[in-house]
Amino acid sequence: MNNHDRIKSLLRVCLLLCMVCMLSGCAHYRINLEVSKSGTVTQKVMAFSTPEVIESLNSNQTIDTILNNLRDQYAARYPDETVTILRITNDDTSEMKQAGVKSVLEDTKEYQVTRKSGKITITIPKQLLYKRFQFIFGQEQNGGTFNGQSYADAGADAILNVKMPYAPTTNVGEVINNSVIIDILQIPDDIDAVVISCDIPRNYVPVGLGGAAVIAGFALAFKRKKAC
């Protein structure tokens, strides 16, 4: 199989995944962002469904082959991310309950993060979330307005979880401890971007400055002791 045929085959798998998952109501999408105190962002994305749905995509292939194809397509679309096959098993029986793909990207630059005026703020454009969701479920080329409710009505779910270093405030979603949980398919039409902020504690000192302050303190104490 040449590269052109391979790409066409992978696209067919992705489109089938979309149709089968939508009909069976078991398409799951998770994107987890963790913002550090310094303002860097680690991103983890998961897309998965039941083994039965995955196997139904191609009755002539094993589930491992299908998952390998999905992983390869995802990795080709997002080459900077580390993409692996995701398997979720039953704790008691080790039976596989869900399967799909997972990607990880350390220090992603995909989202705008500012650290000023005593606040850390992350801005996540709604269209970025929609575009990735549509790619994963084979709908990226459809065009037109994204209708999250239609996906929700078909049984899909898509959750964004943003963990901040301190207690956050947000323009959409639910705050739980230091995290904000957002239903991507239910983001209001009048919101163009998710904006989450947290106040930096006034006693927070960056590691570099803290180390310098400690050294300076020891030097001053030694100097005073010597003078005595």
pLDDT score at 15? 46
DSSP characters over 21-71: HHHHT--EEEEEEEE-TTS-EEEEEEEEE-HHHHHHT-TTS-HHHHHHHHH
Check pLDDT > 90 for residue 102: yes
pLDDT score at 140? 57
Mean pLDDT of 34-38: 96
Map out the domains of the chain as residue ranges.
3-227
Residue 41 neighbours by CB distance under 10 Å: 20
CA distance 51 to 53: 5
Residue whose structure tokens are 């398409």: 27
pLDDT tens digits, one per residue of 160-219: 999 999 999 999 999 999 999 999 999 999 999 999 999 999 875 555 444 444 444 444
CA distance 189 to 206: 39
pLDDT-derived band at 135, boundaries 50, 70, 90:
confident
pLDDT-derived band at 107, boundaries 50, 70, 90:
very high
Query: Is the pTM value of this prediction over 0.85?
Result: no
**Tokens linked to 55:** 């196997």
Residues 138, 144, 148, 150, Cα dihedral to 10°: -80
pLDDT score at 146? 77
- Between the alpha carbon of residue 73 and those of residues 9, 67, 128, 152, 201, the distances in Å are 10, 10, 19, 25, 43
Mean pLDDT of 107-127: 95
